[in-house]
Amino acid sequence: MYEAFKKQINEKLSDDEALNYVYDKIEEAEIWVPYYEVEKRYRDKKAKFKKIPVEAMQKLPQPLHLLKIYPESYDYLDSDLKKEGFEVRQHRGKYYN
């Protein structure tokens, strides 16, 4: 399943395409497993690979699509900063390398 997950990430495959890859491997081994069980197991494993609690993923009404976002800048508001002598609004530029 990890091989399918890596393939999905590297080749930008959909969940269905990755699942078909897994199921093809199962059929090559001449093993019969219901597709819905493979699908559930893959989603559980995928959540583990992404370090998302399986219970949280199972509660979702549909698959979760994760995005990695790199903001150019952002504003942070915190009224407690004023107590410490700072401005309430903090503006930050790029925060990643």
* pLDDT (tens digit per residue) in 16-74: 888 888 888 888 888 877 877 878 887 777 777 777 666 776 676 666 566 677 778 87
Domain segments of the chain: what residues? 2-59, 69-97
| pLDDT score for 94 | 67
| 97 pLDDT above the threshold of 60 | no
| 82 pLDDT above the threshold of 70 | yes
| pLDDT score for 63 | 63
30: left (phi over 0), alpha (psi -120 to 50) or beta: left
| 84 pLDDT above the threshold of 80 | yes
Amino acid at 68: K
| 96 pLDDT above the threshold of 60 | no
pTM equals 0.43
| pLDDT score for 66 | 66
DSSP single-letter state for residue 38? H
The half-sphere exposure of 30 on its side-chain side, counting CA atoms within 13 A, is 0
